[in-house]
Amino acid sequence: MSMVYTEEYLKEKLIKELDAVHVEVRDESDGCGAKFSALVVSDRFEGKPPLARQRLVHAALRDELRAVHAFSQRTLTAAQWRARPAPAP
C-alpha cells in the first residue's frame, strides 16, 4: 500500500531539501494525495534553466513522487519571487 502524503508534509520537505524561502503546495485530488501542484522559491534555482530546477524538485521528492500520480510545479528564485506583479485586490 502506498503512503498518502499531505500538502504540509511535501511543503516541509521542499523547504528542508531546497532551502526554499517560500513554498505553496496544493492537493488537487480532493485530499487523497494523488495530484499536487507546487510553487517553490529557492536561491538554489539561480542561474539554472527550468528543466534543471524541475530536476532539483523531483530529486528532493524522489520517494514521495512514486506514490503521487500527478505533480505540477512552478519554480522561482527569490529575486523572481520579489519581482512578480502584486496580486489584484
- Comparing 39 with 89, which gets the higher pLDDT? 39
Whole-prediction pTM: 0.89
Q: For residue range 29-57, what is the model confidence (pLDDT) as tens digits?
A: 877 778 999 999 999 999 999 999 999 99
Task: Report the alpha-carbon distance of residue 76 to residue 42 in Å, rounded.
Answer: 7
Q: Do 5 and 64 contact (CB within 8 A), yes or no?
A: yes
Report the 10 Å Cβ neighbour count for 52.
Answer: 12
By CB atoms closer than 10 A (0-12, 13-18, 19+), residue 85 is exposed
7-83 CATH = 3.30.300.90
How is the chain split into domains, by residue range? 7-83
Q: Which pLDDT band, with edges at 50, 70 and 90, does 7 fall under?
A: very high
Q: Give CA–CA dist 72/26, Å, rounded.
A: 10
For 58-72, the pLDDT digits (tens) are 999 999 999 888 999
